[in-house]
Structure 1
Amino acid sequence: MLNKKVARTCYKRTVPKVVDTGERRQRIFEAVFDVVVEAGIGQVTLRAVADAAGLAIGSVRHYFSSRDELIGAASEEVIERITARIAEHRDRLDGSKDRLAIAEDMLCELLPLTELTSREVLVWLEIVTSGRTDPVLSASADRLFTGSRTLAGLIVMHAELVPKSESVLETERLAAMIDGLALRASLHPDQLPPALARSVVRRHLRQLSKA
């Protein structure tokens, strides 16, 4: 007869590790962003992402069966993150006495002013550029490209910066400014540091409010 110690060893069961699906997907997305920032979107593969995430490639395939599916999902993740942060600011915009400051915060979510937004803007630029010829990214690229204009229009209207007769023109001007700042600050951060980029946004909004 087996003694109690041996019996416990023989019949001991291995408890499977519970994986947090949401956390694992976020880990994979962060790895995608790492690869894009360091090497460009063309270098994103399931293997490269698995290595960056410290996972087996099978773990990545469990959630994303192909490179196209992975890149498409990661692109939408960028959009959702930016949209969620802007929505938090927007809730404070209507009826606020400090509309210019809130509008500034909203616009700065599209600029590489922090470590977080710097990564996102670089990914955004890669998606928009590649989306011109890559059908997998075209829909996300269109959403990102038009996103700054949509935000600019929302600010011009809800912050009541200019007369309605000038809203279309000023929306385009504001969107073009944000797109240009995002590109220049990402490619040449030494020439356009965060403080200067934010000052440009603030000056433009103040000039609009006095128009």
Structure 2
Amino acid sequence: MNDVQEGDAALAARQLAHDLLQSLTIIRATIATYRLGHLGPSIEPVLGVIEREVGVMAGLCEEEVHGTPLAAPIDPRVIATSVVERMRTAYSGELRLDLDGIVDAPSLRGSVTEWERSLLNLVENGCRAAGPDGKVLVRCSSTNESLTIAVADSGPGFGEAPAGRSSLGMVAVMRLVEHHGGHLELRRSDLGGAQLTVVLPLHPNP
């Protein structure tokens, strides 16, 4: 194995650890919320979150074992809804999802796990930037030619948010976007912070 391959392998291992830690963070936040009495007396909501996150972690490990992402049809509405629901468990601020701009289910294929981990990284970064009392908006829209997924936050702006593990997460995002022939756009958001937008070209079904 040469230096480049070793570097890629080390980066992949760090990204996997980063993504597994995201699920563990969500589980810990859910347990803490339950102990504070904010989820009611039933343990079922906690068990539901744990079961969901264990499934996510199993998917990450499964793809690592196989070595190749498992391709499947992708509905960005389903992915975005799942990611926002997961982050709401761990984020105390306002997190909203707007799917009104999706005209039809865009035709995409790829790894469901890879899509989830990438969008979760974007949303997590927005929540970290906005802070515990901030606002984050995830907006999905599409035309016949392209799909856009924008994450806007009310934080201090790009480069001014608290340091975290965002660089590792963004590598996964950029790789996914490049694989689909898309690009990233960064601008000031209407919420006052930053907005990062993923733009992906759509191809008609054969």
Q: Say yes or no: TM over 0.5.
A: no
Structure with more of its chain in helix, by fraction: 1
Query: TM-score when scaled to structure 2?
Result: 0.28
* Higher radius of gyration, 1 or 2: 1
